[in-house]
Structure 1
Amino acid sequence: MITSPYEKYRQSSVQTSNPARLLIMLYDGAIRFVRAGIEGINEGDHQKTNDYLKKAQAIITELTVTLDHSFDVSKGLSALYEYMNYLLIEANVRKEAHYAEEALGYLIELRETWVQASKMSGSEGQHASEV
């Protein structure tokens, strides 16, 4: 049961968002989790590192399984998502931030690409720039 106003807002936001906005929200979550995982590595907090990098991997897996393979770009995105998952596993196992930082760079670039694409298509409107 959702009790906090923030959680109610988040749930409502997800339920009423268009596909472009949902995709950007997934990227935002993955970026936030990778950053927290990097923070865990830098702090020497192995549990934090593991928890957050696994959450980022779960989002990347979701992005992978929801790809529409009728588009040519899906093949490249699938390979990139697979590579990002590899980087996050390496970061988690080796506790070396540079792997996660590389994955973070890809996530940030992809998020910005989708923000621009949604603006061009008019499907996202002003919300993408607010994130």
Structure 2
Amino acid sequence: MATRNPYQAYQNNAITTASSGELTLMLYNGCLKFIHLAKKALENKNMDEKNKNIQKAQNIIRELMVTLDTEKFAAAEKMLALYDFMLRELIQANIKNDSSKLDTVEELVADFRDTWKQVIQLNRQQTYGQGGKA
């Protein structure tokens, strides 16, 4: 059967074949995308789009929260607190139409994403050698 949307097929394949680390990276990137779209919608005074995109970002933060293993990793408790802060900031940004709160969350998520990219890269180097590729 032919796929109607090749881009959607590519996305589905990328998700189903990604490692857990790559999935986390995708979540961070998705969260940043939705925050950016929410900020743009807020600038354009499109409150429905703003609300929809902030809620998508909130859902991603919630997913990141539930996947943390706080019993296994001590740092997870601190990450959980930061995720909780981000979630509350997103809620306030949505209620108060406050783009500065979106900026705060965007900066934190970008920092998490950039750190996570480095972790993945280091892991690949340790697993496959200096080239980082299979």
For the criterion TM > 0.5, the same-fold answer is yes
Name the CA distance, whole Å, in 2 between partners of 1:87 and 1:43. 21
Relative contact order (alpha carbons < 8 A, sep ≥ 6): 1 or 2 greater?
A: 1
How far apart, in 2, do the equivalents of 1:13 and 1:34 lie? Answer: 22
Mapped partners of 2:95, 2:74: distance in 1 = 33
Task: Note if 1:85 corresponds to 2:78.
Answer: no
Amino acid at match of 1:77: M
Alignment match, 1:121: 123
C-alpha distance in 2 between matches for 1:55 and 1:88: 10
Matched to 1:117, the amino acid is: V
Aligned to 1:17: 18
- 1:112 corresponding residue in structure 2: 114
Which amino acid is 1:27 matched to? Y
Unaligned runs of 5+ in 1: 127-131
- 3-state SS, counterpart of residue 68 of structure 1: coil
* 1:78 Cα offset (Å): 0.5
- Structure 2, unmatched stretches of 5+, are none
Q: Would you identify which runs of 4 or more consecutive aligned residues in structure 1 move more than 4 Å?
A: 123-126
CA distance in 1, matches of 2:51, 2:90: 10
Query: Which residue among 71, 74, 83 is the counterpart of 1:72?
Result: 74
- Normalised to the residue count of structure 2, the TM-score between the two structures is 0.89
2: CA distance, partners of 1:101 / 1:9: 31
How far apart, in 1, do the equivalents of 2:96 and 2:38 lie? 13
Structure 2 residue aligned with 1:5: 6
Structure 1 position 41, deviation (Å): 1.1
1:3 Cα deviation (Å)? 3.1
Corresponding residue of 1:129: none
- The residue number in structure 1 matching 2:105 is 103
Query: What SS does the corresponding residue of 1:57 show, helix, strand or coil?
Result: helix
Distance 1:97 1:21 in 2: 29
Query: Greater Rg, structure 1 or structure 2?
Result: 2
